[in-house]
Amino acid sequence: MITLIFLLTFTTTTDEASPVPAHQIFQYIDEHQHEYVQRLREWVAIESDSSDLLKRQDVIKMMHLAEERIKQLGGTVELAELGVQELHNGSTVRLPPVILAGLEKDPEKPTVCFYGHLDVQPATLEDGWSTEPYNLTEINGSLYGRGTSDDKGQILAVLNAVEALQQYELPVNVKFLLEGMEEVGSTGLFKLVEERNSTFFSDVNYIVVTDSSWVSNKPSITYGTRGNSYFFIEIECAKKDLHSGAFGGIIPEATSDLIFLLSTLVDSSGHILIPGIYDAVAPLMEKEKKLYEKIELDFEKKKAIFGIRNFTYNTKEEFLMRKSRYPSLSIHGIQGAFSAAGTKTVIPARVIGKFSIRLVPNMEPSVVIKQVTDHLNKKFAERNSPNSIGITCMFASKPWLSDTDEPLFLAGRKAIEKVFHTEADLTRIGGTIPIVSHFQEVTGKSIMLLGIGGPDDAPHGQNEKINRYNFIEGTKLYAAFLQELASF
């Protein structure tokens, strides 16, 4: 397991002069936007797919390209090694570097650490892309390419903002934590955060995650994410697959048992049927309720983008709450059952059902695991099947929630008003970013998600993009945010 750590130190002379007017910073950014797009083109060209071991060197190359960009800003570099990643077959492979960077070291200034990732999801033209996924293509103001929105473009926007501020004055101490394994579980990063908590994070006041998108075309700030617990239900009825003509009707089939159990988990409205699962959910307070009323959302556009026939909830507030502040259960698939094209008259000897539950604040993974296990064992006993059952939680991560009245959020809201001339939407997201809750547990720092991705950027999907408008105005947003943060 090998992780490289980059620690950068910049020195900027400060005086009692007034802050540099934002319009001067914004003008610099406008004048250099074509250069910024070219940098994104170079970053997108690297196929840093962390899920493909054959592309591991590309991930490492991507990390070194980021290192080079940071050095161009005048930084010094420290490298640290964490070892290798062990594979299932017993072999090992080098982990990509993790970048830890620092800009400014003035004890009188607040320090903010930006987190992001430089690895991407798999992408090929054959997947259904309209353009080559690793060749940045601009069409009608949109920059298409894998990683443009998730998360290379957002990281570059921060670095470009720092460069623009350096032309005048960097108003706060800035650090970066950039990794190359986020899309496959951030291997090695959790331990690194714990090891560096007393050193790298010791002078950090705030942590900002760039890996997020807006709910609508209106800029948003995220103050909460859901956690996740992923389960396997394994049912076995025989030691080998059986012929349905010879054994159909005379044995309790594993697939039938599994489908029965899966049907007891959630109803057609999305309500989870596991007893006690909602007991720990935090009550909805009036202050939070008002936040949902302010958020913009276009139901019809969202349905059209993703080809959805209808949503379960048709009021904006209920939709937003059900997708972010309440738990949900999703069934993901059945392993071992026949799923290929054609016909096959087989009774699978062993099948595994896969489902996950998104957790919200106050829900403890250990409690949820017990609730799920007790429920499934009870239902299986009621079915009176002679087959064997195994229930396993494959992984669990906690939810995260922050206080929107903290200085970090106040600075973010002021920056959005300055750049976009509108009030920010304060949102929670339904997905999970495990490292965020880990940051909170280990460092105890104030955390915020301030992303610039659009609502239709399609991260992880075909034709991922970031709009040039988001990319350039987002660069201004990060610059304005750092200026605003200096006043707290």
- CA 371 to CA 357: how far, in whole Å? 12
**Strand, helix or coil for residue 394:** strand
- CA 106 to CA 110: how far, in whole Å? 8
**Amino acid in position 155:** I
**Strand, helix or coil for residue 320:** helix
Strands 220-225 and 400-401: antiparallel
- CA 438 to CA 397: how far, in whole Å? 9
Listed in order, strand segments (DSSP E) in 360-399 are: 388-397
Longest CA–CA separation in the chain, Å: 88
- CA 261 to CA 249: how far, in whole Å? 20
Q: What order of strands is seen across the sheet that includes strand 350-359?
A: 328-335, 350-359, 227-236, 388-397
Could you confirm whether 119 is annotated as catalytic? yes
Please answer whether residues 140 and 202 qualify as being in contact, where contact means their C-beta atoms are separated by less than 8 angstroms. no
Select which of 119, 150, 257, 456 is catalytic: 119
Select which of 47, 179, 182, 425 is catalytic: 182
- CA 317 to CA 305: how far, in whole Å? 20
Q: Which residues contact 413 (CB under 8 A, 6 or more apart)?
A: 221, 423, 424, 426
34 exposure class (CB count in 10 Å sphere: 0-12, 13-18, 19+): exposed
Could you confirm whether 182 is annotated as catalytic? yes
- Which residues are catalytic, by number? 119, 182
